[in-house]
Amino acid sequence: MFKKYYRVFQGVFSLSVISFLIWYTNPLELMTSLSQAPYMKLICLIVVYETLLVLLWCGGLLTLLRGYGEIGYGALVLAGIRTQVLTMVFPGRTGDISMAYLLRKKFRVRDSTTVLLIDKVITLLLVSMLAIAAVGYFYGSKHLLTCVLVLVALIMVATAILKWFPERIQAVDSDSFMARILKIIGDMHNQASTKITSASLIWNLIFTALRIFLSGVCFTLILSWFGVKLSLWYILLVQAMVQIITILPVTYMGIGLVEGMNIHLLGLAGVDGAVTLAANLSTRAVQILLYLIAALCWLLPRNDSA
């Protein structure tokens, strides 16, 4: 009985959790307070700009899949809604690696996954440098040497993982779902060194640094309006440390820990790659659509005469 209606029970539980969070956080009251914050119009403009870019990317990828006849628009929407409910109680997203797995027959997997590897490596190195600079600024130069030694240790550990990981792939059952994912990541390692150029590293470093810096500025402005006085360097330091802690064990594997767990759980539930991709796009599209609507509400002129 329970096994027959397992998906129904799981969906009801997920919706209950979502309803409780909405009731507990009272998002309408929070948005009303944020609408009066300084620089909120500038922040909303940034949200609208980034949201439109992501929507364009999602729409283009969905159109590409539909053009190849992989899955129809209606099936994409239904699959996305279904899997979004299944994964709502789990943190994180299904991950970009599922896209590479789904498109493995249409594009060169090594090229697409190498992009993910470069992004992870650049993020790790950049947030490490930001952490060193922030520690030196916030706590004094006496801690800089310790931070540098920690960074060197992180790189050594990551290098050891890089050498150990391909050997581990060979020991995994080749017929399992995770083995197919690990095989893709293993192929990426063999070709990554030939794809990275000085120009790509420099541009990636610049844009990643700009993205992290702008997010820190926006977060600082929001906190300052609520009366929380924190240094921008301190926020960057915390963000850098969180990034290092969460991505170090899996950086050179090219996949996030939470994303990998979600893929594995969905695979055990019998969800195929197309549905996994649809869930990823559907979840992100719904979230950014809500952000876009909220941002537009504060950007549109309001009638204050009433």
Ranked by mean pLDDT, which of 53-62, 161-170, 275-284 comes out on top? Answer: 53-62
Residue 231 has pLDDT above 60, yes or no: yes
**In whole angstroms, how far apart are CA 285 and each of 20, 58, 78, 149, 281?**
22, 7, 14, 41, 6
101 has a pLDDT exceeding 60:
no
Quick one: pLDDT at residue 248?
Answer: 35
Higher pLDDT, 248 or 103: 103
Q: Is the pLDDT of residue 178 over 50?
A: no
For 258-274, what is the mean pLDDT?
45
Residue 49 above 50 pLDDT?
yes
pTM exceeds 0.75 for this model: no
| Structure confidence at residue 53 (pLDDT) | 54
Percent of the chain whose predicted confidence (pLDDT) is above 70:
0
Res 227: pLDDT: 59
Residue 97 confidence (pLDDT): 42
Q: What is the mean pLDDT of the chain?
A: 51
pLDDT band at 127 (very low <50, low <70, confident <90, very high): low
The model's confidence at residue 293, banded by pLDDT at 50, 70 and 90, is: low
Examine the pLDDT at 89 and tell me if it is beyond 50. no
Report the distance separating Cα 40 and Cα 71, nearest Å: 40
The pLDDT score that the predictor gives to residue 67 is 54
Residue of higher predicted confidence among 273 and 59: 59
Q: Summarize pLDDT for 9-40 with one digit per residue, the tens.
A: 655 655 565 555 555 555 455 445 545 544 45
Q: Could you write out the three-class secondary structure of the chain?
A: CCCCCHHHHHHHHHHHHHHHHHHHHCHHHHHHHHCCCCCHHHHHHHHHHHHHHHHHHHHHHHHHHHHCCCCCHHHHHHHHHHHHHHHCCCCCCCCCHHHHHHCCCCCCHHHHHHHHHHHHHHHHHHHHHHHHHHHHHHCCHHHHHHHHHHHHHHHHHHHHHHHHHHHHHHCCCCCCHHHHHHHHHHHHHHHHHHHCCHHHHHHHHHHHHHHHHHHHHHHHHHHHHCCCCCCHHHHHHHHHHHHHHHHHHHHHHCCCHHHHHHHHHHHHCCCCHHHHHHHHHHHHHHHHHHHHHHHHHHHCCCCCCC
Whether the predicted pLDDT of 152 surpasses 60? yes
- Quickly state the pLDDT bin for 191 (edges 50, 70, 90): very low
